[in-house]
Amino acid sequence: MRNSGIGKKIIILVLILAVPGFLYYLLTVGGKNRYKSLPFFGPKVLAKTSHKFHGTVIPDTIFHKLPAFTLTDQEGKVITDSSFANKIFIASFFYTGCGNACDVINENVRKLAVTYQKNNMVRFVSITVDPEHDQPLMLKHYAEKFKLPASKWLFLTGDTTQVYNLAQNGFLLNAAKMPDGQFVFNDKLVLIDAEKRIRGYYPGNKIQEIARLNDEIKVLISEELRKIKAPN
C-alpha cells in the first residue's frame, strides 16, 4: 500500500511538470499557431509591403500603436513609452479621489499583478486623470496599500494635456475634466502588446472580464515566446 501511495505521488508530480509543456506544445507545434490570435483595435491602414500565405499575396497591415509619451511614476522617476520595450502591459485610468469605484477596479488589477509578479514580461500601469492633484507623492501613498513594487505596477502622472491626449488618441478611451471639477473617464483595462498595439478592452469591475483578460495575457505571452523561438 505504501509503494502504491508513492507511485501515485510520482504520477501527480509528472503530470504537474508535463502538462504546461504539453499545452505550450499544442499552441506552438510545428511553429504554427494553434490558438485564435487576439484582435487588433483602432484604425489600421494597408502598408506598401506584403507577404505570402499558401501562395497568396496578402498586403501587410499597419495597426494603431500608442504614441510616444513621457510621464512620471510614484517614485518620481520619468517613464516613457521606451520603458515598455518588449513588454506586455495592462493599462487603466483612475484618480486617487475617485473612491470605491476605482478601489474595486484597482483591487482586481492587484490580484492580476500578483499572479504575474514573477513574470518580467508583464507590467501594469494606472494613469491618473487628475494629474494636477495626483503628484508622485500622492500616488506613492495611494500605491502603498496595494503592496506591489513600482517595477510591477506603475502609477503615473504628468502634464494634463498629454494625459488626456494619451487616453483619447493612444488608448482610444474617454478622459476629461468637466467644468464642475468632476472627471469623466472609461473604467476599462487595456491590454497592450510588446509592439504598443491594443489587443483587448475589459471592464475593470467585472470578475468574468478579469478572468478573460488573464487568459488573453497568456495568449500574448505565447505570441512573444513564439517570436523568440522563431528561426531568423
One DSSP character per residue, 167-232 reads IIIIS---EEE-TTS-EEE--EEEEE-TTSBEEEEEETT-HHHHHHHHHHHHHHHHHHHHHHHS--
- In this structure, which amino acid lies at residue 129? V
Cell numbers for 62, please give them. Answer: 499597419
Give Rg (Cα) of the chain.
21
Specify the pLDDT at position 162.
Answer: 94
d(CA 168, CA 176): 9
d(CA 228, CA 224): 6
Specify the pLDDT at position 164.
Answer: 96
Specify the pLDDT at position 30.
Answer: 44
pTM of the model: 0.81
Count of residues in the chain: 232
Cell numbers for 99, please give them. Answer: 473612491
By the 8 A CB rule, do 157 and 94 touch?
Answer: no
In the chain, which residues have pLDDT < 70? 1-35, 47-59, 229-232
Spatial neighbors of 198 by CB under 8 A, at least 6 apart, are 40, 41, 42, 64, 66, 171, 172, 190, 191, 192
CA–CA distances in Å: residue 48 to residues 65, 116, 197 = 18, 38, 20
Specify the pLDDT at position 112.
Answer: 97
d(CA 182, CA 204): 20
Pairing mode, strands 153-156 and 122-128: parallel
d(CA 87, CA 11): 36
DSSP track, 9-57: HHHHHHHHHHHHHHHHHHHHGGGS--SPPPP--S-EEEEEEEEEETTEE
Specify the pLDDT at position 175.
Answer: 93
